[in-house]
Amino acid sequence: MSVTIQIEGEDQQVALGARLAEATGQKALIFLQGDLGAGKTTLVRGFLQARGHSGNVKSPTYTLVEPYDLRSGQHYHLDLYRLGDGEELEYLGLREMLAEQAVLLVEWPQRGKGWLPDPDLLVDIAHRQQGRSVSLDARTPAGEEILSRISLREFA
């Protein structure tokens, strides 16, 4: 199951992140793909703010992982852009994160190929002449459940 929508700016990117947060349970693996500047971290900001985070959300490009212990549960924001080898995920505690009741939002998941399991949901963001095209592709029954609950009316 998949759906593609058009986003017309940063506010809509943040709103889409919030809609994803509302539709996602307390355990999920969500991959975010797209070129540099596509808005992956902007979408994560909307997701985390909707889950109760009130501080800044920056891409963990250098730290690779940023944990968020929120009232709504444990969340991890991973940015694998600078990952040298997928094996480094073992040292970051990926196995433990996946075993937790947590939401993992993973930017540049292709850098962890062979070490990351299939995601529940793949979010692919592409630049367009005006705004972005965002594809949401469910890869597991949990991902299908997320897509079935998400409200995308404001993006139609």
CATH of residue 87: 3.40.50.300
* Cα–Cα distance measured from residue 146 to residue 150, given in angstroms and rounded to the nearest whole number: 6
Cβ burial of 121 (10 Å; 0-12, 13-18, 19+) is buried
Domain membership of residue 155 (yes or no) is no
Instruction: List, run by run, the mean pLDDT of 10-residue segments along the chain (156 residues).
Output: 88 93 94 88 94 85 84 91 80 87 94 90 90 92 93 73
* Cα–Cα distance measured from residue 99 to residue 97, given in angstroms and rounded to the nearest whole number: 5
Domain membership of residue 122 (yes or no) is yes
Domain membership of residue 97 (yes or no) is yes
Query: By three-state DSSP, how is residue 83 classified?
Result: coil
Domain membership of residue 77 (yes or no) is yes
DSSP letter (8 states) at residue 142: H
Domain membership of residue 105 (yes or no) is yes
pLDDT of 84 reads: 77
pLDDT of 156 reads: 59
Domain interval for residue 119: 2-149
pLDDT of 124 reads: 96
151: amino acid identity, one letter: S
Q: Domain count of the chain? A: 1
Helix (H) or strand (E) run with residue 19 in it:
helix 10-23
Domain membership of residue 65 (yes or no) is yes
Domain membership of residue 154 (yes or no) is no
